[in-house]
Amino acid sequence: NTTLLTDKLPGVLDEIQIFWNEKKYPLLRVSYRHSTIFLAPQSHCDPIKYSYNDSLEEKTLDAHNWINGNQPDKGCEDGNQLYNKGVRADVLITYPIQEIWRNRKFE
């Protein structure tokens, strides 16, 4: 229930079925239909800025736009990018194992 995400990504939250504050994932936003990722502070060009930003909505929007976008991956040296070079590739490379991960037997 976030205005920023519903305004900037109309219909996307419903389409990917986002859940908030699940028992297994308190105070986090997750989707069981699609991969849920967490980008560590070290994956950001400015990890201090990331660490002090308390807006999970902004972090979610930035990550969604980057991972699902097609901007050139120039890395932090460019000055206009939020993430280290290769972060998008790392996420996309793990996509094929999503079904295996989702269907695994655990807990």
Rounded-to-integer distance, Cα 5 and Cα 11, Å: 9
Rounded-to-integer distance, Cα 39 and Cα 62, Å: 11
CA angle 17, 35, 13 (to 5 degrees): 25
Over range 44-57, report the average pLDDT: 94
User: What is the pLDDT, as a whole number, of residue 36?
Assistant: 75
Is the pLDDT confidence value at 2 over 80? no
CA-CA distances (angstroms) from residue 78 to 31, 44, 75, 82, 102? 32, 13, 6, 10, 36
Let me know: does 20 contact 74? Beta carbons within 8 Å: no
User: What is the pLDDT, as a whole number, of residue 18?
Assistant: 84
Mean pLDDT of the chain: 87
